[in-house]
Amino acid sequence: METKIIGRLYTISLRILITGGAGFIGRYLVNSLSSHHEVTIYDNLSNSSKKNIEFLLKKGVKFVHADILDYEKLQKSCIGYDLIIHLAAKSDVADSVIHPEITNKVNIVGTENVIRCCIENKIKKIIFASSSAVYEDSKVPINENAKTNPVSPYGKSKLVAEKKIKEFSKEHGIDAISLRMFNVFGIGQNEKYYGAISKFVENILKNKPIEINGDGEQTRDFIGILDVVEAFNCAIKNIQGKKGDVFNIGTGKSISINELVKMILRIADKKIEVKNKKQNKSEIKFSVADVTLAKIELGFIAKQKLEDQLIKLL
């Protein structure tokens, strides 16, 4: 198979294994990459189902139904690959507060397993899906050198995983990138596990009241799923020489939850009751990305407009 990758050094087709590839981000990413690369999904289907990836399997994508905590299975499944994209994780912030031990086991031990597999199978490239949850509150765009002070076990687990990847990358000469994704949204997102937009849209479509955590003045940097896919593509093209480098993946613009709800209701042309519930202390108050480094080093710029993407959801 041959494809053109506009990278710095080479044009090549890759064999790529994607852990968590059946999830929301994974399905979009696999769909994009499988047009030019040989892609395998490695997933335990805890956040998805076989039905959700049938369209990908028909395209020739391979599927391994297994858990990243099953090291023997993971090790055998990774043989012969050029690149691992590690998406598999426990991603529910609130649930991580209730069950931190499970979050740590999957997100930290699971990442250690992926790292060991790369070393044993001589896989020279890895891209890790990290999160903006590693940061502390910031009303101004926060860059990759800013203080990391995660308030949730989820954020802490992602930060530990990042550090482990950086250490192993430098020690074993493996190219590695961690993408700190801000608030990802799009069609097909699982409202049970992920962010505000999916939950708000779900309630509006069912004419149910919208519930906002706290006073609604908290801000978020929402980035559309197609932009996130492009960020991964840019990371693949420019991974050469990166040794665990981290990059913010966001838009550089924030919106308050109150403003977001007003926008969604206006687009939907509906009047829905809005309720405020107790603020979740495991979530940061203010969040917005400084995206300068991703633009310079990866050539990535988010192009989708929030309102345009909300229209598609409604």
pLDDT tens readout for residues 48-104: 999 999 999 999 999 999 999 999 999 999 999 999 999 999 999 889 999 999 999
In whole angstroms, give the CA distance from residue 262 to residue 284.
21
Tell me if residue 194 is catalytic.
Answer: no
Q: What is the mean pLDDT of each run of 10 residues along the chain (314 residues)?
A: 43 90 97 97 95 97 98 98 98 92 98 97 98 94 96 96 97 97 92 77 93 94 97 98 98 97 96 88 89 98 96 93
pLDDT at 284: 87
In whole angstroms, give the CA distance from residue 152 to residue 163.
17
pLDDT at 283: 81
- What is the end-to-end Cα distance of the chain in Å, rounded? 39
pLDDT at 160: 98
- In terms of pTM, does the model score above 0.85? yes
Domain annotation for the chain: domains and CATH numbers: 15-184+223-250+290-303 (3.40.50.720)
pLDDT at 194: 59
pLDDT at 191: 58
**Nearest residue to 225 via CA among 132, 300, 135, 302:** 302
Q: What 3-state class would DSSP assign to 94?
A: helix
Phi, psi for 10 (deg, rounded to 5): -155, 165
- Strands, DSSP E only, in the chain? 15-19, 38-43, 62-65, 83-86, 125-131, 175-181, 183-185, 210-213, 219-220, 222-224, 243-249, 255-256, 274-277
pLDDT at 1: 42
In the chain, % of residues over pLDDT 70: 95
Amino acid occupying residue 209: P
Q: What is the largest CA-CA distance in the chain?
A: 57
pLDDT at 94: 87
Q: Which of 28, 81, 135, 154 is catalytic?
A: 154
